[in-house]
Each structure stands twice: as C-alpha cells, then as structure tokens.
Structure 1
C-alpha cells in the first residue's frame, strides 16, 4: 500500500531534480523549508520528528537538498518529507508538503469497523507499522 499524504503523493517518487524544482518554487515565494521524518505515517500523526531547525534564512536550493539527503542517509527506512511555510497571513501556514523518501516496504493500514450503541458503525484506522517497535518498523532484516 502506498501512503498518500501531501502534495504529489499520487505521483511516482520525485527525483532530486524535481525536488530541487519544488525547493526553488518555495524559495521564490519566500517560504522557509523544513525536513521531517517518521516511521509512523498515520494520517493523524501530523507531528513528525524534525531534522534540524526550519531553514528560515537559507536561500540556496542546494543547501536545502543537502539537508534532505542528510536526513535520508541517517534514516534510510523512514518516511521523509519536506515542508514549506507561508507566513503571509500572519501565522505559520503549511503552503507545500510532500514526501521525498519512503521505506522500501510500506505495510499500510487497515480499517476497523465496530458496532457501537444504537447499532451505529464506528470506523478507525490501524497502522500495520505500529505492530513493531519504533525504529524497527521497516527493517527488512
């Protein structure tokens, strides 16, 4: 199952050249960028681990890609995403967010259906990745 979160999630994985083009777009709009990673991409898990600090003063796309690649190297079996922030409305708003790395095997989710009071049906999602301990969720060995 392919996790679909953020912009471009239904497209094939972006190449470094395509990622650089998106970085250029964000920087041309004066949107600072940040890199995040996780091994639990549950849709409600919006707080991924930050890789360093947001790059508020960085205007060189090569420097941003350097941070992306450093995060990829340090977390080869994690999801890595790049976020761009727009403060144009007076608050931090995510203007662009997309996954730049995925684990080789994405176990996905299942939907659990439960009957509750009054025969109503309640749905919840369960991430197969969370059945293994953190740090070992996407280990192929």
Structure 2
C-alpha cells in the first residue's frame, strides 16, 4: 500500500526499485496497470448485454478518464496519498496514475480475473449512476 500511496514527489531522484517487493514502486505498478485497466475496461464493455455497437464501444472507450475520476473519488484515495506540498492531487493525471497503480497491484497480486471482476463491478456501478441521475 505504501508503494501506491507515497507520491513520487517524496522519492529522491534515481531511487532504486524495492527489490524486496513484488511491486517495485508505484510508477512500475502504474505502467502495467494502465495496460491492464484499458484491456479490462474494453473487455467489460465488449461483453456487456445488450451488446454495444462498434460506434458505441468507441464512444464508451473515451469515457474511461471520467470513470477513473469518479472511482478514485469514491474510494477517497487522493486523501490517502503522502505527497510533496506542491502536488495538485486534483489533476486528472494524478487520478489516473493512482488508479493505474492500484490496478497494477491487484493484477500482480491476484491476476486478471480479479481485476476484471472488480472493474466490471465499477462499470456497472457507474452505469447505474448514469441511469439514475
């Protein structure tokens, strides 16, 4: 958890990876997590019932950033991040980096099926919020 919730602004430049950990650091987790999140999100949307058309899929793919903002806010992750005083945690790239790092950690620890189940739940929750206003 510390690897995810300690912002890079608190690490000294050139800090070595934590080789005693399966994760290394948050940036490494975010690198794998971004790919896993995008693939999982695409898979969840592709498998939704009723099927989305190709046009609708492409439209929904562009909404991932909006969803990430909502998900990160819902988990209250920004408040948990230890960071330098000049870091703006309200920047969209900070939310995306947090989500990517967390997805990366879940993927490394528990695999793709766990990430897929989690993201499917979040997508369903987001869809329900949109339907209900």
Larger radius of gyration: 1
Greater RCO structure (CA 8 Å; 6+ sep): 2
TM-score by length of 2: 0.29
